[in-house]
Amino acid sequence: MSGPGSAAAEVLELLAGRGQTLAVAESLTGGLVAGALTAVPGASRVLRGSVTAYATDLKRELLGVDGDLLAACGAVDAEVARQMAGGVRRVLSADWGIATTGVAGPDAQDGQPVGTVFVAVRGPAGDGAVRRLALSGDRGRIRRDTTDAVLALLLSELTENARAQDTEQRGGNGCLQP
């Protein structure tokens, strides 16, 4: 199985196995990420909820994105995505937060061309990642590809996090040993 459905199922299974929760902050995807997650039976064990903060002022007011950052850089920015993921994690009391922000078209926004997207993940230890994407296609394709990308990024962070914890516990390569 491939596609966002399988990534969503895998993410939910990993988080359920850890007893952890997830929250979603969406802008350009407008609920597609939450929709992909809630399409999986049993998602309610993990998914706390989602915030679709389409308007820039809602990113600031609901998710706590820095107003000066938004004024200086606009909503299509890596740091905005990072703060959205951290903000939804905090607001919805989840272990993990993921976020999408970008330009699906038809016009450029904040000086960024159509297809410029940022996806972000924030975890329980403040860990996480932000990725810049340069997507092509129509509006629907960009939104679907963004959904796939944020779920893939979370899956990557969850599996990397698990490997890092295993290495720390077992004293594998990269750890200082006496």
Q: Is the peptide bond before 4 cis (omega within 30 degrees of 0)?
A: no
* R_g of the chain, CA atoms, integer Å: 16
Report the run of H or E that residue 141 belongs to, with start and end. helix 139-170
Could you say which DSSP state residue 107 is in? S
Query: What are the residue ranges spanned by the domains of the chain?
Result: 4-170
CB 98 within 8 A of CB 29: no
pLDDT of residue 82: 98
Contact indicator for 114, 104 with CB cutoff of 8 Å? yes
Q: What would the pLDDT profile of 89-148 be if each residue is shown by its tens digit?
A: 999 999 999 999 999 999 999 899 999 999 999 999 877 899 999 999 999 999 999 999
pLDDT interval class at 163 (50, 70, 90): low
Which pLDDT value is given to residue 91? 98
- CA dist 79 and 130 (Å) reads 8
Q: What is the rounded distance in angstroms from the CA atom of residue 38 to the CA atom of residue 21?
A: 13
**Residue 138 · residue 106 · CB < 8 Å:** no
CATH class of 4-170: alpha beta
**Do 87 and 64 touch, CB atoms closer than 8 A?**
yes
Q: Could you read off the pLDDT of 3-23 as tens digits, one per residue?
A: 556 999 999 999 999 999 999
Over the stretch 58-72, which tens digit does the pLDDT of each residue have? Answer: 999 999 999 999 999
Reading the block at residue 143, the tokens are: 């939104």
Q: What is the pTM of this model?
A: 0.89
